[in-house]
Structure 1
Amino acid sequence: MPIRVPDQLPATDVLRGEKIFVMSESRASSQEIRPLRVLLLNLMPKKIETETQFLRLLSNSPLQVDVELLRIDNRPSKNTPTEHLDTFYRQFEGVKDRNFDGLIITGAPLGLVQFEDVIYWEHLQSIMNWAKEHVTSTLYVCWAAQAGLKLLYDLPKRTRKEKLSGVYEHFIHDQHNPILRGFDDTFLAPHSRYADFSPEYLSEHTDLDILATSDTAGVYLASTKDKRNVFVTGHPEYESKTLHTEYVRDLAEGMEPAIPVNYYPDNNPDNAPRATWRSHGHLLFSNWLNYCVYQQTPYDLDKFSEANFTTDE
């Protein structure tokens, strides 16, 4: 089934070129079906690039998904045209009286910034608190995972001395957990962060189910037992050249970054990187949509109630 997006969204042509079934709003309005409503809060600077990456992952499911784009505030963007933001993005005030099946909060380039110094920190907290009563399942990605842990468990910001950048091997911890259904025992996934997520620390200070970890990168995937909050510390949405773009950018800024681990063939940045994480990225989002959202959400979103949710125990 397709994802439903605004008719003129730039991602539409990109995804159709990849033979992904994208349905325009005008066509979807004539269908008698209850699509899943998913809100994408895009905190990344290059919003067009990021929205395309996430829409690509949301498309690989038999479920019809109606995606709405949300911005954190109305400040001008250096990397996204104002016309694009005004046309395709909503302000929180325009959606806060509605319920949604799913919410995705992206990462943000704020790894070395303290939460209280983030200009929109209070507003982000308001949105995450709102989601408790208006969203079936929220997916926190990379920096947003750190922010979500602060909100839900009051965990302080934990920062690595050096940036974690590369593609790392991960091990699953519970092959019968629905979020991991179909996963191999080990899989690869990219990371690009300063945040520190050690399994020991999360196990000691939270009641989260730790689902997948890396010996080097720490926790990759965790969730609350009712699956209403899912934390992904890496970037399954990244395209094959995204880490390369970040590496070249950091070089140009004189940051002397380390070469991303296990990314370039022969560890040589002159060699074109290959995506080795794409299949598990698609599977993760498909499982989240199915088991955390579709299987849990009420058919009538107006009847949303926390009492509807169950755990695996």
Structure 2
Amino acid sequence: MDERQGRDRLRELLDAVLDEDNRTLTDMAGDAYASPYHFTRRLRRDAGEPPVAMRRRVELERAAWQLRRGTSVTDAAFAAGYESVEGFSRAFTRAYGEPPSAVGSGGPRDHGLPAPNGIHFHPPTSLWVDATEGAGATAGAVTDQLVRHDLDDTRALLELAKGLPADPLHREVLPGARVLAWDGEEPSVAAVLEHHVHAKEVWLAAVEGLDTPARGDGDPSRLLERHDAVAPRWLAMVRDVDRRGAWDDRLVDALCDPPESFVLGEVVAHVLTYAAHRRQLARLMIRMLGVAVDDGDPITWSRTTRTKETHR
């Protein structure tokens, strides 16, 4: 696969801004295969900060971090691209309200400077994008992403399973494989995917007060229908819990014998944990059958999803 496929264009522009070899706007734009005009326009629009100003700010943040670790003012100045220690000291003092010589005696503890985009230097040589300075992602948004990835990835695996002949689909690839003690063995692709889909059906039945759903035989076409039925309900339930801040609410699962009490946050964490395990277990078995399958990486999924949403 092309290593640039799915790459974030803004990330590429930021790389060009912060590359140590790119000291001028012309250098930055050339490295990003853009004209200085379009390069500056895109950074102003998408990051809210012109590239030269961003580079200067991030270099000062790195200098503050280096000074706290014992780097001399002279070395920090030249590393930040300044031609003189005096120029660096003036810029540093304007930014932090104290001269760089004060860092060693209790100067700025937080090297981050105010930024319109949350983009900061992150030691030793990386960037950190602080979402709290913008709209940002919440813990609920992260949970939502995990749930949506699980549902989309499950559907992709079920579509792949539909193309497998019945014999390899039900073949005991890993005899004795067991995910949870009370669920029995899951030695085949069909068994793993059946348990995977059934788990959400069972937990939703407990949350919604419904009867225990029957387990199927692992037929991938039927599993796909069941998944498409349970997926939107599961996502809606998780989003409702997050909206109400009800993660610590409890449900008494009357489907258990005897009935058992569960915290909703624990339920979602349980389902996500074993869903991820079963998806990767299914992938392992599919590869053992000689069939190619992707890695199910949530980073790849997220980038692909963002690209699709951007082009809608």
Q: TM-score range by the shorter chain?
A: under 0.3
Q: RCO higher in 1 or 2 (8 Å CA, sep ≥ 6)?
A: 1
More strand by share: 1
* The structure with more radius of gyration: 2
More helix by share: 2
TM-score (norm 2): 0.24
